[in-house]
Amino acid sequence: MTRGRSVTALIGLVLLVGGLAWGATGLYGFGHYHASYGRIVAHASVPDRSATNSVVVTAFDYRAFDTLGEEFILFVSVVGVLVLLRRLRGESGRDEENVAEEDRRASESTRWIGLAAAGPLVVVTVYIVVHGQLTPGGGFQGGVILMSAIAFVAVGGESMVLLRLRRTSRWVEMAESAGAAGFAMIGFGGLIAAGVFFQNFLPKGTSGLLTGGVIPLANIAVGLEVGGALLMVIAELFDQRLRGRRL
Amino acid sequence: MNGLLAVLLTLVGAVGTLTVAIREPVRQTIAAGFLSLVLALLFFALQAPDVALSEIVVGSIAVPGMLLLAIAKIREQEQSADHEPGEADRGGDE
Amino acid sequence: MSVYPYIVAAWLLGAGLYGVMSSRNYVHLIICLTVMQASTYVLLLSVGYVSHGKAPIFADIPTNSTVVDPVVQALTLTDVVVEATVVALLLALVVQANKRFNTVDPDAMTRMRE
């Protein structure tokens, strides 16, 4: 960067940070919370939806429209990653023999640890996704843990499993699309059943697991989508690495 | 505002500055993972367990994984570009 | 010092922006973007904090206790995971650009216009 540009940049930076700090003095002090929307939402979630986690109730029921927007940001970014990286892979060929070599080079213990850790991680994922409306958790966290369960297998060295997964990548793509479409369908279900987009139209229970109306279904849809999306990104990056020699 | 929150906020500021100051990408990935950990502790202290869970999972698995894979692929592209026919007089790499 | 969290958020934004402006490596630039995202999370959660409030999960506390704001937590929760995917898209762009231009330097890439 030239001298003139760096001086201008520093002046702009100082003005920005100074302006933000000065603007912060106009806010209410830290800890003095004055808005009432959050208080109403927090105290209405238990009697209204019978779900104890008011953050998940807010994200998937009261503000489900915002979560729909975020889901589509995720979907579109993954489409962008695939468009960029799949053309890259198509230019260079890919050899099955090279991958088998690398698979035989990984040690036994890492492969066994990778396979052994995948099972409990999937159980933890299902627990966190389904109990989203009762305890901290939900679809987003569960989806990322699901991706890490498969990544454990790949890091452990079972590249053949990952390859087979990528050859059946149609299933992963369908899971991701089903998650995104499922969330939108839940919104349309509310529109059809009760006349309001994303209205919570299923019966809400009293306590236990089947509470909160459509919130468990929305959690499962989001978990599928986030897990599938991150899995496809990691698989695309990994497959590039498997070509040729190790670094 | 109690002492724990003040300490965690100062730590977040310091680790964030450290992450920007490190220039080499692989070391910066480790610093970014450390920033995610300290940020998750701050979110716990601010009574936000859902957000802390998200931050831990994303910042320790998803983001460093993708960063390291991308850095490895960039290095692989640079090495295969060094082996172009025009640079055949160079012996090995590094 | 009741504006301290907002000062920390502004400082993180400024530090990340300085890293973006003075970066010589695109991967370093992406990680500085991550630092800027962290500043927005700190600001959101600090705005919603209530003194001596508890977490807004009513599984084991009575339903009329003081809790912190759940709306900003819902916004930050979805934001954290989505921004990780946007980082993936940016990394894919950097990888493609490196293949095309053989460099990851922002200044060098703007000079290559042919």
CA angle A208, A209, A211 (to 5 degrees): 85
Q: Residue C23 pLDDT > 70, yes or no? A: yes
> Where is pLDDT greater, at B36 or A21?
B36
Compute the nearest-CA separation of C34 from chain A (Å): 16
Q: Does A137 contact chain B (CB < 8 Å)?
A: yes
Q: Considering only alpha carbons, which residue of chain C is nearest residue B48? A: C55
* Predicted confidence (pLDDT) per residue in A72-84, tens digit: 999 999 999 988 8
pLDDT confidence of residue A26? 85
Look at phi and psi of residue A31 and say left if phi exceeds 0, alpha if psi is from -120 to 50, else beta.
left
CA distance C31 to B73: 17
Which residue has 């060929």 as its token pair?
A93
Percent of chain B whose pLDDT exceeds 90: 68
Q: Which residues are C67's β-sheet partners? A: C54
A55, A230, A233: residue with CB nearest B50:
A55
Structural domains in chain C (count): 1
A31, A53, A234: residue with CB nearest B65:
A234
Q: Does A72 contact chain B (CB < 8 Å)?
A: no
Contact in structure between A32 and C51 (CB atoms under 8 Å): yes
Q: Residue A1 pLDDT > 50, yes or no? A: yes
Residue B89 lies in a domain: no
Domain harbouring C49, CATH code? 1.10.287.3510
B61 and A140 within 8 Å at the Cβ level: the answer is no
Q: Where are the alpha helices (DSSP H) in A25-138?
A: 37-49, 54-57, 64-91, 96-105, 108-130
Compute the nearest-CA separation of A53 from chain B (Å): 9
Residue B92 lies in a domain: no
Q: Residue B17 pLDDT > 90, yes or no? A: yes
pLDDT confidence of residue B64? 93
A29 and C3 within 8 Å at the Cβ level: the answer is yes
pLDDT confidence of residue B90? 44
| Amino acid letter, residue A214 | V
Residue B56 vs residues A156, B11, B60, B63, C90: alpha-carbon distances, Å: 21, 17, 6, 11, 21
* C80 band by pLDDT with thresholds 50, 70 and 90: very high
The per-residue pLDDT of chain C, averaged, comes to 89
Compute the nearest-CA separation of C74 from chain B (Å): 8
Q: Considering only alpha carbons, which residue of chain C is nearest residue B27? A: C28
* Predicted confidence (pLDDT) per residue in C24-68, tens digit: 899 999 999 999 999 999 999 999 898 888 888 888 888 888 889
CA distance C110 to C98: 13
Structural domains in chain B (count): 1
Closest CA relative to residue C51, chosen from A50, B45, A144: B45
E strand or H helix that includes residue C5: helix C4-21
Q: Considering only alpha carbons, which residue of chain C is nearest residue A60? A: C74
Domain carrying residue B40? 3-82
pLDDT confidence of residue A106? 62
* Predicted confidence (pLDDT) per residue in A173-212, tens digit: 888 889 889 888 888 888 888 777 777 777 777 666 777 7
A31 and B72 within 8 Å at the Cβ level: the answer is no
Compute the nearest-CA separation of B30 from chain A (Å): 18
A53 and B75 within 8 Å at the Cβ level: the answer is no
C47, C74, C96: residue with CB nearest A88:
C96
Residue to substitute from B74, B79, B83, B84, interface C, most C β-carbons within 10 A: B74
pLDDT confidence of residue A143? 92
Q: Is the pTM of this model over 0.90?
A: no
When pLDDT is averaged across residues A203-232 and rounded to a whole number, the result is 83
Closest CA relative to residue A217, chosen from A75, A47, A51, A40: A51
B49, B50, B76: residue with CB nearest A247:
B76
**And the tokens for A34?**
């004055």
Residue to substitute from A15, A62, A74, interface C, most C β-carbons within 10 A: A74
Q: Does B66 contact chain C (CB < 8 Å)?
A: yes
CA distance A224 to C114: 44
pLDDT confidence of residue B93? 42
Contact in structure between C65 and C54 (CB atoms under 8 Å): yes
> Where is pLDDT greater, at A109 or A60?
A60
C49-86 burial by CB neighbour count: b if 16+ within 10 A, else e?
Answer: bbeebebbbbeeeeeeeebbbbbbbbbbbbbbbbbbbb
* Least confident segment among B62-66, C36-40, C98-102: C98-102
Q: Residue B21 pLDDT > 80, yes or no? A: yes
Domain carrying residue C87? 4-56+64-111
Residue B17 lies in a domain: yes
Cα radius of gyration rounded to whole Å, chain C: 19
- Subunit partners of chain A (3 or more CB pairs within 8 A): B, C
- Sequence spans of domains, chain A: 52-242
B78 and C98 within 8 Å at the Cβ level: the answer is yes
Contact in structure between B74 and C104 (CB atoms under 8 Å): yes
